[in-house]
Amino acid sequence: MPDTSICAPRKARVFSQIEKQALYDVIENRRDVRNEFLPDPVEPDTLRRILKAAHAAPSVGLSKPWNFILIRDNAQRAKMKAAFRKANVEAVAMFPEAKRSAYSALKLEGIEKAPLNICVTCDRARGGEVVLGRTHNRDMDLYSTVCAVQNLWLAARAEGVGVGWVSIFNDADLRTILGLPGHVAIVAYLCVGYVDQLFDKPELAARGWASESELNASVMEETWDEQLGTRCY
């Protein structure tokens, strides 16, 4: 008979109350950081643990389609900042006039303040033409990459490292700066650095830009609930 022992599940790790609470505290205390970055470089061992956590994310067909491009060079970050500035001028103009000055007053990135930027990309060709689990949803590889981003973000928070996700860019500008080939998609551009102060709720709520919806408004039973869905606005 073949040895199937390596292929059997085993007793699962059980987490104590203190350990569970640690996870919930990391999740609740995670922030999208724009301005609180300290200038100190992120320690190599710390960065390695954070990236290892990202690399342990679920991925479709175990394809691990992500790459992490570490950007520390001042000239590279200056180019990114210019790309952000250009896009943000376009962004302001998209808002109704009444909201423009409030929008412009918000700090939305820490590209140059954070000592480290990480561009998280997704190689759309990795794993070949047919990937298990990607057969009916071609974007599962992008979603896997976002799972890696969220793991990275939580690990960073536990390590005292803040992360801010900047999405106000024209894709083409970043592709040029980073020299990305056509089959590689940009999923996230992250500003990363130590923090010792953070907002105690999401900054957009603290600054009155938006308010947080309640969990109850997001939970439905068995099928879509049109009434509840409409109440979310």
Least separation in angstroms between residue 43's CB and its own copies is 13
| Residue 44, helix vs strand vs coil | helix
Among 11, 39, 105, 182, binds its own copies (CB under 8 A): 11
Fill in the amino acid letter for 116.
L
Residue whose token pair is 């650095």: 193
Sign of CA dihedral 89, 91, 97, 99: negative
Among 26, 81, 112, 124, binds its own copies (CB under 8 A): 26
Q: How far apart are CA 86 and CA 14, in angstroms?
A: 50
Q: Residues 80 to 109: which contact its own copies by CB under 8 A?
A: 87, 90-91, 94-96, 103, 106, 108
Tokens coding 144: 């896997």
The answer to whether residue 1 forms part of the interface with its own copies (CB under 8 A) is no
> If we measure between CA atoms, which residue out of 180, 177, 70 comes closest to residue 114?
70
Fill in the amino acid letter for 81.
K
Q: Are 54 and 68 in contact (CB under 8 A)?
A: yes
Least separation in angstroms between residue 85's CB and its own copies is 13
Least separation in angstroms between residue 15's CB and its own copies is 5
Least separation in angstroms between residue 130's CB and its own copies is 5
Q: Residues 30 to 89: which contact its own copies by CB under 8 A?
A: 30, 32, 35-36, 48-49, 51-53, 55-58, 60-64, 66-73, 76, 87
Q: How far apart are CA 188 and CA 135, in angstroms?
A: 24
> How many degrees, rounded to 5, is the angle at CA 48 between CA 197 and CA 139?
90
Q: Residues 198 to 227: which contact its own copies by CB under 8 A?
A: 198-200, 202, 204-207, 209-213, 215, 218-224, 226
Q: Residues 146 to 165: which contact its own copies by CB under 8 A?
A: 146-147, 149-151, 153-155, 157-160, 165
